[in-house]
Amino acid sequence: MHMADALISPAVGATMWTATAGLIAYSSKKIKQAADDRKIPLMGVLGAFIFAAQMINFSIPGTGSSGHLGGGMILAILLGPYAAFLVMASVLIVQALFFGDGGLLALGCNIFNMGFLSCFIAYSLVYRKIVGDKPTQGKIVAGSLAAAIIGLQLGALGVVLETVFSGISELPFRTFLLLMQPIHLAIGIVEGMVTAAVVMFVYQARPEILNAVSSFKPIGRLDLKKVIVGFLLAAIFIGGGLSWFASSHPDGLEWAMFKTSGKAELDSPGQLHTALAAVQDKTAFMPDYGFKNTEAASISEPEVKPVWPAIDLGTSLSGLIGGGLIFLIIFLIGFGFRRREVTT
């Protein structure tokens, strides 16, 4: 369930990046306050463990498919929410850089979906509430199962919302939601069972490890209210700011492209009108459709049509020819540099 760069808009990507950066700064501060040197190597090595464990597959009984560990919840149970969040973020950064799983711009979304939602929300509000201060076998199993399922449901919801807000994929909200939630319910149950079993395994072999985490107050306790309020403020500020920018600016750019495609030699009031029409196009997309059309037609020159989706054969053919030529030029440049590299 990694979000990909290809599916998100810059506004969504930047919003989630800001939120995630804030969370990383906040969690780092908490770790520093706890002044526990031991924790930092432990975090790094456990991150490597999660990474390695994700590569081991097991067969899911009765389905013929295979599954693997996600790991966010195990980390939270072993390390507490702040440290676990930082470790999940690291795992996702390495996956993005080395394997292209999710991209750099989508990193904020992915860290939020798989790190924040499981380590902060599901762990703090579900696992901790069920397990409490005195873990028993039954409580640990119930807690990890419930927390893993809820964490994955929230993560899936996050993917749906981010995709729909970005508007690159055409999937409508309802369909996508109905597609994602049941799949992630199944994944969540498997993840929950594995988490519960592994945590039980550790609990039986080395109970002191889990007891140490659950009695470790400075990192175990979470000021969730502060985190959420901060996140909401960041989201509103960035999202609002960027979408204002996004709704007025790209139209200017589209208008610029329009101009360079060699069609409209407009004088300056004309340009203004075109730009305004384009802005209107974007801002009033659903209601009073007819009104918008007539308005646009009356203020613009006859040949000024909305740029998209109005490809006619002429421009698409020129795009094809021009695109092919540019491709050729780029590869020639590439070969040129390659050769020089060899000869020097």
- Tell me which of 173, 250, 272, 294 binds another protein, using CB under 8 A: 250
Identify which of 196, 227, 192, 236 has the alpha carbon closest to the alpha carbon of residue 112.
227
Least Å from the CB of residue 28 to another protein: 3
DSSP string, 64-129: S-EE----HHHHHHHH-HHHHHHHHHHHHHHIIIII-SS-STTHHHHIIIIIIIIIIIIIIIIIHH
Query: Looking at beta carbons only, is 64 or 290 nearer to another protein?
Result: 64
Query: Which residues, numbered 164-183, are part of the site for another protein (CB under 8 A)?
Result: 167-172
Should residue 94 be labelled a site residue for another protein when binding is judged by CB under 8 A?
yes
Should residue 62 be labelled a site residue for another protein when binding is judged by CB under 8 A?
no
- Tell me which of 46, 77, 130, 278 binds another protein, using CB under 8 A: 46
Burial grade of 79 (CB within 10 A; 0-12, 13-18, 19 or more) = buried
Query: Which residues, numbered 8-27, are part of the site for another protein (CB under 8 A)?
Result: 8-10, 13, 24-25, 27
CA distance 240 to 246: 10
CA distance 22 to 117: 15
Least Å from the CB of residue 289 to another protein: 14
Binding mask 321-340 for another protein (x = CB under 8 A): xxx-xxx--xx-xxxxxx--
Least Å from the CB of residue 213 to another protein: 11
Should residue 245 be labelled a site residue for another protein when binding is judged by CB under 8 A?
no
Query: Which residues, numbered 295-324, are part of the site for another protein (CB under 8 A)?
Result: 308-323
Grouping H, G, I as helix, E, B as strand and the rest as coil, residue 278 is helix
Site of tokens 């009108």: 273
Should residue 56 be labelled a site residue for another protein when binding is judged by CB under 8 A?
yes
Q: Are 83 and 99 in contact (CB under 8 A)?
A: no
Should residue 274 be labelled a site residue for another protein when binding is judged by CB under 8 A?
no
Should residue 101 be labelled a site residue for another protein when binding is judged by CB under 8 A?
yes
Number of residues that bind another protein (CB under 8 A): 109
CA distance 52 to 2: 18
Query: Looking at beta carbons only, is 27 or 274 nearer to another protein?
Result: 27
Should residue 343 be labelled a site residue for another protein when binding is judged by CB under 8 A?
no
**Residues 6 or more apart whose Cβ sits within 8 Å of residue 19:** 108, 112, 231, 234, 235, 238
- Tell me which of 178, 209, 236, 297 binds another protein, using CB under 8 A: 209
- Tell me which of 29, 129, 174, 221 binds another protein, using CB under 8 A: 29
Site of tokens 């590869």: 331
- Tell me which of 22, 51, 125, 216 binds another protein, using CB under 8 A: 51
Query: Looking at beta carbons only, is 129 or 226 nearer to another protein?
Result: 226
Should residue 161 be labelled a site residue for another protein when binding is judged by CB under 8 A?
no
Q: Is 100 left (phi over 0), alpha (psi -120 to 50) or beta?
A: left
Q: Are 123 and 154 in contact (CB under 8 A)?
A: no
**Residues 6 or more apart whose Cβ sits within 8 Å of residue 124:** 81, 222, 224
Should residue 286 be labelled a site residue for another protein when binding is judged by CB under 8 A?
no
